[in-house]
Chains A and B, each alone.
Chain A
Amino acid sequence: MTAAEIRDEILNILEVIAPDEDLSNIDDSVNFRDQMELDSMDFLDIVMELRKRHRIQIPEDDYMELASMNSTVKFLEPLMKDIAKA
């Protein structure tokens, strides 16, 4: 997946786990938590969805990398580079 495709995938996951949020104007440089209602269980949902959809295991120590869209995409790029977009 390219960086743009990974971003689309994360957006898709956010639509599922935060269905009341308007994601059309998300700021990729700002922490998710500062622009939408997400708690620790929601972040675990992001981790779980990546595990279910792409069999990606994210160690707990790396959860902080999922803070914003930019940091998430940057962190996932090497892990998802060989995964084809569905």
Chain B
Amino acid sequence: MIRTAQDDQRIVITGIGLTSPNGDNLPEYRAALLEGRSGVDNYHIRYVGDTLAGECHFDELKHQKRKELRRGTRAGSVGVYCANEAINDSGIEWSGIDRSRVGVYVGVTEHGNVETENEINEIKAFDYDTKVWSHHHNPRTVANNPAGEITLNMGITGPHYTLGAACAAGNAGLIQGAQMLRLNECDLAIAGGVSESIRTFGIFAGFASQGALAEHSEPARASRPFDLDRNGIVVSEGGCLYTLERYSDATRRGAKIYGELVGYAMNSDASDFVLPNPVRQATCVNLALERAGLNASDIDLVSTHATATPSGDIQECAALRSVFGDSGKTLINNTKSFIGHAMGAAGALELAGNLPSFDDGVCHPTINVDNLDPECELPGLVINESRENCKIKTVLNNSFGMLGINSVVIIQKV
């Protein structure tokens, strides 16, 4: 069991730093979700050409010098922005913090593709002479890069690493942070996920070859989970990092608490490279519920992973149907319909967009559902318009990825 009466084993969220295609902080992002504002736009990338994507527009120079930007990676920059914003939001007096007790745990879907493609493109102009291959390539492509750039920028000397967890990575980062706090490996965790994936043509080309890249004449309507006319994924970039603290530490300093991580689980499908497995997804959800000491009926809102691929959406709905039944008490929504699939950041970002519902009592909808796929019909699904005056105290957040990796977190209002 995760849940315990001991306050130093209870883990709470005290700060949120994020950048999304439709907002660069939580209030902006939440407002966009409630107003039905998408962040998906036309996009061009080498070799693939014109396509669609969710691109972030945060101020890169807010927390980094030009030289840091030049030397580092986009994922690193997203991470640095989110980490600094999370610390600022937490109200922690950063100058007084023992930075050897701060841990950085960043989920990524992939890392290194962008930088490698850039270098290959660069040496192409020199007839593939590897003597002009950049000495920055290795520090940019090591798998810990995005987390490491955060420690360099903020002078953090505690542990840092990334968690490669495909599109389950955002939740995985959050879970890792909580675990490290419980193990007393750190006193403050900066945890979540980031993605720079729209900078690599390979992601787009790969989804296109798989028949899973969204196309639509209106970019804002391209990401359509649960809709019969969906035709694939909109790739996005983004980041969302949380400050996690022990409940005892947070209350001692009078911190604002967004919610408590009362349950989590990760498991593996062991069935297919790409296709999800609803039985294993349901097992993961049930395990998180069991660890939280909750029943399915205690969950007020499920934030789905659905990416707008036919098989993925249907499988997740089957998993949810098996856990939550047909009562309709539990509301269900989807954030990718607004921002596309932010890959390594998706789980963390999608959770963040729903946390304000604890206070404002609003469940943002899944947009772009013109013709609901009957196989995705769930009684609690909130479609196209927000549901107001809801009592939301517990949110369950799904995040799944390729190679059959599943992650679920449950956050409860404190």
Could you list which residues of chain A lie within 8 angstroms of chain B, going by C-beta atoms?
16-20, 37, 41, 44-45, 48, 51-52, 57
List of A residues within 8 angstroms of B66 by Cβ: 19-20
Contact present for A44 and B67 (CB under 8 Å)? no
- The distance in angstroms between the C-alpha atoms of A41 and B126, with both chains bound, is 22
Find out whether the CB atom of B126 lies under 8 angstroms from the CB atom of A52: yes
Chain A residues with CB under 8 A of B67: 17-20, 37
Contact yes or no, A19 B132, CB < 8 A: no
Q: Are A52 and B132 in contact (CB under 8 A)?
A: yes
Q: What are the residues of chain A within 8 A of B136 when measuring CB–CB? A: 41
Is B253 an interface residue when CB atoms closer than 8 A count as contact? no
CB distance from B140 to the nearest CB of A (A): 11
Query: Does chain A have a CB within 8 A of B71?
Result: yes
Q: How far is the CA of A17 from the CA of B136 in the complex (A)?
A: 12
Q: What CA separation (Å) do A44 and B137 show in the bound complex?
A: 13
A-B CB pair tally, cutoff 8 Å: 25
**Complex-state Cα separation, A51 to B130, whole angstroms:** 12
Contacts of A41 in B (CB 8 A): 71, 135-136
What are 19 A-B interface contacts by the 8 Å CB criterion?
Answer: A17-B67, A17-B70, A18-B67, A19-B65, A20-B65, A20-B66, A20-B67, A37-B67, A41-B71, A41-B135, A41-B136, A44-B135, A45-B135, A48-B135, A51-B131, A51-B132, A52-B126, A52-B132, A57-B131
Q: Which residues of B contact A (CB under 8 A)?
A: 65-67, 70-71, 126, 131-132, 134-136
Measured in the bound complex, the distance between the Cα atoms of B70 and A16 in whole Å is: 9
> Which of B67, B71, B126, B131: most chain A CB closer than 10 A?
B67
Q: How far is the CA of A18 from the CA of B132 in the complex (A)?
A: 19
Nearest A residue to B123 via CB reads A52
Please give the distance in Å from A17's CB to the nearest CB on chain B.
Answer: 7
Residue in chain A with minimal CB distance to B122: A52
Residue of A with least CB distance to B66: A19
Q: What separation, in Å, do the CA atoms of A79 and B5 have in the docked complex?
A: 73
Chain B residues near A18 (CB-CB < 8 A): 67
Could you tell me the distance in whole angstroms from the C-beta of A4 to the nearest C-beta in chain B? 27
A18 to chain B, nearest CB (A): 6
Q: Which residues of B contact A17 (CB under 8 A)?
A: 67, 70
Contacts of A44 in B (CB 8 A): 135
Question: What residues of chain A lie closer than 8 Å to B135, measured between beta carbons?
Answer: 41, 44-45, 48
